[in-house]
Chains A and B, each alone.
Chain A
Amino acid sequence: MRRILALAATMAASAALVGPAAAKTTVVIGVPDWPTAAVTSEIIGTVLEEHYDAAVRKRPIGTVQLFDAIDRGEIDIHPEIWLPNSSVDVAKYTDELKTLSLAPARVEATQNICTTRETVEATGLKAVADLAKPEMAAKFDTDGDGRGEMWIGDFDWSATRIERLRAKSYGYDQTMMLLTMPEDMAMAAVDAAVALATPIVFYCYAPHHVFALHDIVTLDEPAYDPATWEVLSPDVDPAWLEKSKAGSGWEPAYYHIGYATDFAAAEPEITAFLDKMALTAEDAEAMSYAIHVDGKTAKEVADEWMAANADKIAEWTR
């Protein structure tokens, strides 16, 4: 509906022999509730205002509702669509309903088991499989029971279930106590371990500010191999843990900018910019760090990023 009104306004303006520029395009960006999406929204918004003379409105919204709002024509741009996390929604709106398109540029996101440089030097820990060795696991024992302890995620993250499965597949479910707790607790534990140079090992994902905060080492493991992954849902089979396996690294995840398909048809120049806009994992980590550690706002981080990357913006808007 919004699109039809905009077209009608343009036609009316043309009819009155006023230049097309008089009908300023209004672009609505959906803003999901996490830092990198907020910063990306700010960058897109500023570029659209400065280079395409658009009137930009940013609308905070949950990621599931965001897909629906794009489908209804209420929102034009999704700053950060995660795959495979949102693959079901993406298939529905791109393939079936054809109301959503994904920009080709993407940022790679990874999940691993991590440790600190001090831990590697003190324990010789190198690979995920090392954790299944009792003598190695014992070096991470903090409660005197001979087994190590490690964080594998928050209580209700979908990744946590997979990490439990990976522990079983590698065998360190027998040597390590797998802890679930809020991320702030786990990150503060890393801070405290670094402060005292005590060993620590934990689930990690990137882009994440912890990589800039501490000297973090990602443990070696075989690359993702679909033959070693078979993940059943607890909803489908109560014996999912016994029957499932995940014995190699995580499949890399990616995130893209997305936009409404009819928006792309109406605004090919803006779409060309969105298709070229390629943030890197390093950009995302720096944005996460600036917000979490430096306590800056998304607007401040976006302004700094644009000031430092004027050449990239020029390239993308050419």
Chain B
Amino acid sequence: MRSTIARMAALAGAGVLALGIAHATEVFDPNTRTWVPYDPGQAIRYYKQHGQVPSDFQRQVVTFRTAEKPGTIVIDANKHFLYLVLGDFKAMRYGIGVGRDGFGWAGIVRVGRKTEWPTWTPPAEMVARDPKAAKWANGMPGGVDNPLGARAMYLYEGNQDTIYRIHGTNEPWSIGLDISSGCIRMNNDDVIDLYERVPVGAKVIVLMQGAALYRGV
């Protein structure tokens, strides 16, 4: 059966793959009404100063005209937004952090299972390259220091775990950036809010545009 996760599909026919190009993320500047570069240094400074992420990345109801049914999640990794379709052309929009180079992906999946304060087990490659991760090779118990944060929603394709998750974070300043391991990270308040609203089985569309494209999906 053809996989709906578009690991190679976008690129197979495209010929050229612009691997390794540095990609600045962007945040919308309401003063100039333009998208301006946003990097980890700016993100950390902003968070220290304000105790929260820029307003764009804060949870809010927005207009979102779509044919998708209420309860569907649409993830725009390029713009660092996760939309939960509410109906009547509205969506709850959350700021997210997404995968860094080498971990991008796109496709249609579903929430296969959900966990509160999940255990984090670093993947073997991470254990091999990161001594901090190696310490938790057999699993790090859930808690405020756990990188998966307060909640995790495990994304499945059919009955198969894709290894990708929507989860919380212990680095709330990182929303709006491309730094996680192919997962969708949200701040803990937001992931708890989403967790309460989304049942197992919910449809999740991860858009192909942008962040997923050049990272060897």
Chain A residues close to B by CB (< 8 Å): 142-147, 149, 151, 155-156, 164, 177-182, 184-185, 187-189, 191-192, 194-196, 198, 200, 209-210, 213-214, 292-293, 295
Contact = CB atoms under 8 A, between A and B. Distances in A.
Given A145-B18, A177-B10, A180-B10, A191 B4 contact: no
A185 B205 contact: yes
Interface string B2-26: 1010100110011010100111100
Main secondary structure of the interface of B (DSSP, over half): loop
Contacts of B18: 143-147
A189 B214 contact: no
Given A143-B214, A155-B2, A181 B76 contact: no
B74 A188 contact: yes
Contacts of B23: 143-144
Given A142-B78, A143-B211, A192-B76, A181 B69 contact: no
B36 to A, nearest CB: 14
Given A143-B23, A156-B2, A194 B65 contact: yes
A153 to B, nearest CB: 11
A252 B113 CA distance: 46
Interface in B105-145: 106-108
B29 interface: no
A122 to B, nearest CB: 11
Across the A-B interface, give the 8 residue pairs with the lowest CB-CB distance, nearest first.
A145-B18, A142-B210, A143-B213, A191-B66, A142-B209, A292-B67, A192-B76, A143-B214
B164 interface: no
A179 B24 CA distance: 22
A33 B146 CA distance: 47
Contact of A189 (B2, B91, B208): B208
B107 A185 contact: yes
Given A179-B208, A185-B106, A195-B63, A142 B68 contact: no
B200 interface: no
A213 B85 CA distance: 15
Nearest to B212: A143
Contacts of B10: 177, 179-181
B213 A155 contact: no
* SS class, residues of chain A in contact with chain B: mixed
B21 A144 contact: yes
A188 B68 contact: yes
Contacts of B211: 143
B190 to A, nearest CB: 18
Contact of B9 (A144, A181, A187, A293): A181
Given A182-B108, A188-B74, A198-B79, A177 B208 contact: no
Given A179-B10, A185-B107, A144 B66 contact: no
Given A178-B14, A213-B67, A185 B108 contact: yes
Contacts of A195: 62-65, 83, 91
B9 A188 contact: no
A295 B91 CA distance: 17
Nearest to B211: A143
Given A156-B2, A178-B14, A192-B83, A184 B213 contact: no
B68 A191 contact: yes
Contacts of B74: 188, 191-192
A292 B210 CA distance: 27
A188 B4 contact: no
Contacts of A179: 10, 14, 208-209
B92 to A, nearest CB: 12
B44 interface: no
B198 interface: no
Interface string B37-71: 00000000000000000000000001111111100
